[in-house]
Amino acid sequence: MQAMVFRRILIGFATLWVVSIIVYFGLSVLPGDAAAIQLGQAATEESLAALRAQLGLDRPAYVRYFEWLGNMSTGDLGISNAGGATIASLIGFRLGNTLELGGIVAVISVPLSVFLGLAAAMYPGTWLDRALTFGTMSLVAVPEFLIATFLVLIFAVKLKWMPSIAYMSGGETFWEWVHALAMPILVLVVVVSAQMIRMTRAGILNVMNSPYIEMAILKGVPRKRIILRHALFNAIGPIINVIALNLAYLVSGVVIVETIFAYSGLAKLMIDGVQTRDFPLVQACAMIFCGTYVVLLLIADIAAIMSNPRLRNPK
């Protein structure tokens, strides 16, 4: 197991490096550089040259890549090409924001989804199951921005119960903070849970098809007991896998929610970085996202091994 963890961490670093190369090529094929984007319509050849010199963009791209790689390995994230702020200062508090929002959503949605998924699997074909299946499918099928805007119109504009944006001036009390974040939390819980409920249900029903469960069914073991005692432990691997992927999504993929609620998080920052051709910024975000992904999947795999005796002692 230790050897496995160690090997996976090494592989993780290899993946990070490949990501940095993909980002490097991705950004270099985009039209315009940070200087051209910053000056926009006001650009002239002269001012472009001056700004490029100021930002250090006059050196070849590969030189800047290796410079970045060198700095990165010493923990220095560099300086934003777009505004001149240090990347660490741009990322620091947004990472906090992202983790706060993602953390709350995870704490609510993971137990909720597993519970509802189990309930659906326990009574398949019943009205509860059908309602859950239909409900979750409908939610999966609707674009996130429609769900978000719809909820804003109801809860913020019409009822005025909650603010329409997750903006905080600083110095909020805990309840003010919860109030400000209520809408994005609601939207993300809806979006993320829908998929996790479906997957939990599917995972358990799949295990229910395996011969030893069928044997148990034939022996007359009650269904509830089969699911909680046997199926759940065997299905836990894939369920945790799905949970891990959804948590990774909460860190890197929530750009639409961050945009609609004007919430400063990492996902929006990376899109801004791409749009302003801010090479060090995009790289730093990519490293964080990839690192999160690798670590979460590793944890999921370890959890799957720990929970399953067959995997714990491989033949």
Partner 1 sequence: MTKKIENTDVDYGDMTGADRDLLTAALKRGATRREAMQMMAATGLSVAAAGAIVTSAEEAIAATPVKGGSVKMAPSLHGPDDAIVPAQFTSTVDYTRGRCHYNSLVQLNDDIIPQPELAQEFGANANATEWTFKLRKDVTFHDGSKFDADDVMYTMAQHYGDDSVSVVKSLVAGVEWKKVGQYEVKAILESPNSDLATLLGEKQFKIMKEGSAEEFRSGGALPTGTGPYALEDFQPGVRSKHVRNKNYWRDGPNFDEVEIFAITDPVARVNALLSRDVDMVAQVDPKAIKQVESTDGVQIKSNASGSYMGMCMMLDREPGNNPDFVKGMKLLHRRDKIVKSILKGQGTVGNDHPINEAYGADFCADLAIQDYDPDQAKHYLQKSGVTGAECVTAEVTPGMTDAVLMWQRECSKIGFDLQVKKVPTDGYWGSGWMQTPVNVVTWNMRPTATIMLDIAFAPTAPWNDTAWKNDRFGQLLTMAKAETNAAKRHEIQCEMQTLAHEGSGMIIPAHMNVVDGHASDIMGIPNLSLGILGGCEWPEFAWRA
Partner 2 sequence: MSNTTENPGAAEKVVDEIDKFAELPDAPPKKTIKLSWTGKLAAAIVAAWVVVAFIGPWIAPFHEAEFILDDSFVPAGGCAEMLDELYDIEEWTPEAITKYCSDADVTLFLGSDYLGRDTFSRILWGARTTIGISFVATLFAYFMGITLGIGAAVSGGYIDMVLSRVNESILSLPSIMLGLIVVAALGSSIPILIATASVIYATSVFRIARALGQDIMVQDFVEAAHARGEGLWWIITREVLPNAAMPLLTDFGLRLVFVILFISSLSFLGLGVQPPTADWGSMVRENMAGLGYGSYASIWPAIAIGTLTISINLIVDDISAKSGGSLAKKMV
237 binds, among partner 2, partner 1, none (CB under 5 to 8 A by kind): partner 2
Beta strands in 111-254 (DSSP E): none
CB closer to partner 2, 202 vs 302? 202
Binds partner 1 (CB under 8 A): choice among 12, 15, 16, 36: 36
159: DSSP letter: S
**Minimum separation from the CB atom of position 283 to partner 2 (A):** 11
For 210, the token pair is: 């395996």
**Minimum separation from the CB atom of position 192 to partner 1 (A):** 20
| Residue 170: strand, helix, or coil | coil
Pick from 141, 152, 135: which is nearest to 187 by CA?
152
Q: Please tell me whether residue 259 binds partner 2 under the rule CB under 8 A.
A: yes
Contact characters 256-295, partner 1, x per CB under 8 A: ---xxxx-x----x--xx-xxxx--x--------------
- Exposed, middle or buried by CB within 10 Å (0-12, 13-18, 19+), for 101? buried
Q: Please tell me whether residue 242 binds partner 2 under the rule CB under 8 A.
A: yes
Instruction: In whole angstroms, give the CA distance from residue 284 to residue 311.
Output: 36
CB 266 within 8 A of CB 288: yes
Residue 10 CA to its chain's centroid (Å): 22
Q: Using CA atoms in the order 185, 92, 266, 182, what is the torsion angle rounded to 10 degrees?
A: 10
Q: Which stretch binds partner 2 (CB under 8 A): 53-61, 95-103, 180-188, 266-274?
A: 266-274
Binding site for partner 2 (CB under 8 A): 11, 14-15, 18-19, 22-23, 26-27, 29-31, 124-125, 129, 133-134, 137-138, 140-146, 149-150, 153, 157, 199, 202-203, 205-206, 208-209, 211, 214, 217-218, 223, 235, 237-238, 241-242, 245, 248, 252-253, 255-256, 259, 267, 270-271, 274-275, 286, 289-290, 292-294
